[in-house]
């Protein structure tokens, strides 16, 4: 299966809850509970969902920042657990990340050139002088000036800092970039600059993106396919046109109807969901969405629906389509 | 037409120190009528929050200063009031809700006590009556199990519930004006939809006027009767919401709308406004948007355009715009 840049199978992450004097484990927060998907080479897969749905945890497991509780992660068709120590470095270089907060993710004591050159130096790809030269070129690639490499993060605006973060991610020529809320902290006029840059770079460097965001319009704009997560589960995934114009899962439908747009004429019928997302330490039985679902049936309270293909490449986990 | 409830004229709020005077709000006008929802929209640093803090007279001390203008509320200039008179008004006739409900609520006071505090301050009520009113206020904003929640603490509630508590507290004394600064920015979309629906219902049922501050044009389109677009401390466009969204005139407003990705249509490349907002320390002397504007002419860089009424009730700060559209 060479066609996926990264593939995850039945990925799970349970965080233990400790309590009491003896620090006993009294339960688990099921942050990610059996998620499977793949990012094809050269595609952008968008993952949307609300806070606590497990989208960031999924991204962090793919980055190997977190060890999965169970499940498989395959990079270029190869299982990450089977990678030998000597290959491990190579593997890490293939995946890079762009973070949400452009203020927190850059070292304030390092010049921007040092920050961007750092991955090249620690991975012993080139000597320091060459690395700094490459850093200067990378800054130009992301729309900054090569002279900027001697400046420090505080001298840049939020949008420019996000460009620096992107330059750093590009340094190692990765195959896949995991972007976790990469434009969420930016103002609208700057957000569109960064989105355009990401799309341009993707074509230029044949990148794949896993683009994690809560913003439905942004995800629609940048993605080829879109996955929707709710309470640790992937409830729907498919080509973006299919998901946005014909949402199958009642949650996707509600999410889309709740998104607000500055075009008054394009208002759709609004579905306002009642209540809050349940606590992932104590998820409901059956379908995780049944407590808020306007279309819940008896079976939804008992059985958790399997994700299945309903139309071409469009999968949904919902008993309505069983 | 009746006198507006709130009339802000030429308000100037500067950050003043020995060495410098930095304009945060630089001469804005704002009218809010009874029962109206006015939205102030703009990006970080445009002065929208400083405008609301000026109205509340809650500017960061000692540097934030109102250096000019008037704020008439019910015909009284708030800037003439003493601090004591002002505190009679705050939470009573004008109240405010903030973006981050967790930092705006007191973590060591129960929900009931926090709401009762407002009522005890402004109404002659016994503690018991105040707590009863707190339960009513919570029920009114759709908080489930209000009887129990009055005894709970902020950390026990979800973000959406906390924001409802904030709204209950702000509405407890039935204010004439509610200022909401990014009330749903920290919330998820499905919860945002609930809170916005609630705010509209409150307006319809109580007739409270609202100033809603947001960076999100989607929220503004949903809520606003009237919209004021701010850029670099100034109003650049002001009109009713229908007109603003169907015929935006200022190049900045148009640029903002074109920069937003859409849920319905696919555009290959998003429009983006080049450059960044100028720093308040050295604003250009001409139009503050000129450096980023695709329509800018030499004179835009030379002279500051006035906010002109180009069509009935439609104000635009741009010399390149006429009622017929873009011209000259």
Domain ranges of chain B: 6-93+173-326
Residue B106's pLDDT band, with cuts at 50, 70 and 90, is: very high
Does A51 score more than 90 pLDDT?
A: no
Q: Of B166-170, B262-266, B274-278, which one has max mean pLDDT?
A: B166-170
Work out the average pLDDT over B17-23.
89
- Which pLDDT value is given to residue B328? 41
Ranges of H-type helices in chain A: 55-62, 85-94, 112-122, 128-141, 158-170, 188-205, 216-222, 240-245, 250-258, 298-302
**Structurally, what CATH architecture does the domain formed by B6-93+173-326 represent?**
3-Layer(aba) Sandwich (3.40)
Tell me the nearest-neighbour CA distance from A244 into chain B, angstroms.
7
Query: Does the ipTM exceed 0.85?
Result: no
d(CA A110, CA A116): 10
Tell me the nearest-neighbour CA distance from B248 into chain A, angstroms.
11
Put simply, the answer to whether A260 touches B222 (Cβ < 8 Å) is yes
Residue B44's pLDDT band, with cuts at 50, 70 and 90, is: confident
- Which pLDDT value is given to residue B327? 46
**Residue of B190, B221, B197, B267 lying closest to A228 (CA atoms):** B190
Contact B27, B234 (CB under 8 A): yes
**Using CB atoms, which residue from B43, B197, B246 is nearest to A189?**
B43
Q: Of A87-101, A251-265, B102-116, which one has max mean pLDDT?
A: B102-116
How many CB atoms lie under 10 A from the CB of residue A111? Answer: 18
d(CA A142, CA A160): 9
Closest residue in chain B to residue A243, using alpha carbons only = B263
Angle between helices A128-141 and A112-122 (to 10 degrees): 120
Kindly report, residue by residue over A200-231, the tens digit of the pLDDT.
999 999 999 999 999 999 999 999 999 999 99
**Residue B99, phi then psi, degrees to nearest 5:** -65, -45
**Percentage of residues in chain A having pLDDT higher than 90:** 70
Put simply, the answer to whether B189 touches A258 (Cβ < 8 Å) is yes
d(CA A168, CA A163): 9
**Residues of B with Cβ-Cβ distance to A221 under 8 angstroms:** 261-262, 266-267, 270
Parallel, antiparallel or unpaired: strands B6-16 and A314-316: unpaired
Does B138 score more than 90 pLDDT?
A: yes
**Residue A70, phi then psi, degrees to nearest 5:** -160, 170
Output the CA–CA distances (angstroms, integers) from residue B246 to A266, B213, B219, in the order listed: 12, 21, 16
**Residue of A260, A187, A192 lying closest to B259 (CA atoms):** A192
Put simply, the answer to whether A277 touches B188 (Cβ < 8 Å) is yes
**Using CB atoms, which residue from A192, A244, A277 is nearest to B259?**
A192
**Using CB atoms, which residue from B222, B261, B271 is nearest to A218?**
B261
3-class SS at A17? strand
Work out the average pLDDT over B324-328.
52
Which are the contacts of B23, defined by CB distance < 8 A and separation ≥ 6?
Answer: B12, B13, B14, B233, B280, B283
3-class SS at A210? strand
Least confident of B136-145, B247-256, B306-315: B136-145
- Which pLDDT value is given to residue B190? 86
């Amino acid at each position: 299966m060479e066609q996926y840049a990264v593939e995850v199978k039945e990925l799970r992450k349970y965080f233990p809850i400790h309590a009491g004097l003896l620090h006993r484990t009294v339960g688990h927060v099921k942050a990610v509970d059996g998620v499977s998907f793949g990012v094809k080479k050269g595609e952008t897969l968008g993952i949307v969902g609300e806070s606590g749905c497990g989208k960031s945890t999924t991204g962090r497991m793919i980055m190997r920042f977190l060890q999965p509780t169970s499940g498989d992660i395959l990079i270029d068709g190869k299982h990450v657990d089977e990678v030998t120590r000597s290959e491990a470095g190579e593997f890490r270089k293939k995946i890079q990340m762009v973070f949400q907060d452009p203020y927190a993710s850059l070292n304030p004591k390092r010049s921007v050139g040092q920050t961007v050159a750092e991955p090249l130096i620690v991975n012993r790809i080139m000597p320091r002088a060459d690395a700094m030269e490459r850093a200067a070129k990378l800054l130009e690639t992301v729309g900054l000036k090569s002279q900027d490499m001697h400046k420090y993060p505080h001298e840049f605006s939020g949008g420019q800092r996000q460009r620096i973060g992107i330059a750093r991610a590009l340094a190692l020529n990765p195959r896949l970039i995991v972007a976790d809320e990469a434009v969420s902290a930016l103002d609208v006029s700057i957000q569109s600059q960064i989105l355009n840059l990401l799309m341009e770079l993707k074509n230029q460097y044949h990148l794949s993106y896993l683009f994690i965001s809560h913003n439905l319009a942004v995800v629609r704009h940048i993605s080829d396919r879109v996955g929707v997560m709710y309470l640790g589960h992937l409830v729907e995934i498919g080509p973006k046109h299919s998901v946005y114009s014909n949402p199958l899962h009642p949650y996707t439908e509600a999410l889309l109807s709740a998104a607000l747009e500055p075009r008054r004429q394009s208002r759709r019928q609004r579905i306002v969901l009642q209540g809050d997302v349940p606590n992932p330490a104590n998820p409901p039985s059956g379908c995780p969405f049944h407590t808020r679902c306007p279309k819940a049936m008896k079976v939804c309270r008992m059985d958790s629906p399997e994700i299945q293909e309903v139309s071409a490449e469009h999968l949904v986990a919902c008993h309505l389509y069983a | 037409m009746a006198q507006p409830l709130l009339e802000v004229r030429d308000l100037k709020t500067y950050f003043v120190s020995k060495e410098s005077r930095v304009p945060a709000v630089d001469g804005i006008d704002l009218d809010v009528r009874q029962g109206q929802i006015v939205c102030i929209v703009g990006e970080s640093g445009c002065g929208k929050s400083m405008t609301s803090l000026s109205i509340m007279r809650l500017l960061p001390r000692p540097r934030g200063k109102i250096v000019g203008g008037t704020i008439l509320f019910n015909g009284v200039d708030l800037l003439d009031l003493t601090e004591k008179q002002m505190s009679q008004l705050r939470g009573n006739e004008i109240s405010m809700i903030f973006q981050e409900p967790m930092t705006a609520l007191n973590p060591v006071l129960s929900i009931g006590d926090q709401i009762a505090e407002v009522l005890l301050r402004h109404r002659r009520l016994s503690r018991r009556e105040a707590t009863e009113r707190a339960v009513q206020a919570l029920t009114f904003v759709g908080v489930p199990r209000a009887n129990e929640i009055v005894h709970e603490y902020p950390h026990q509630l979800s973000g959406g519930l906390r924001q409802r508590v904030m709204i209950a507290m702000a509405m407890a004394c039935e204010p004439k004006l509610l200022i909401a600064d990014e009330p749903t920015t920290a919330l998820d979309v499905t919860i945002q939809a609930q809170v916005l629906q609630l705010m509209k219902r409150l307006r319809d049922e109580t007739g409270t006027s609202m100033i809603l501050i947001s960076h999100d044009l989607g929220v503004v389109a949903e809520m606003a009767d009237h919209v004021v677009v701010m850029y670099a401390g100034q109003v650049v466009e002001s009109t009713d919401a229908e007109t603003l969204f169907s015929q935006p005139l200022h190049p900045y407003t148009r640029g903002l709308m074109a920069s937003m990705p859409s849920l319905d249509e696919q555009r290959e490349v998003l429009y983006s406004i080049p450059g960044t907002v100028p720093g308040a320390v050295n604003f250009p002397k001409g139009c503050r948007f000129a450096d980023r504007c695709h329509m800018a002419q030499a004179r835009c860089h030379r002279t500051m355009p006035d906010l002109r009424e180009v069509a009935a009730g439609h104000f635009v700060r741009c010399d390149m715009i006429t009622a017929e559209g873009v011209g000259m």
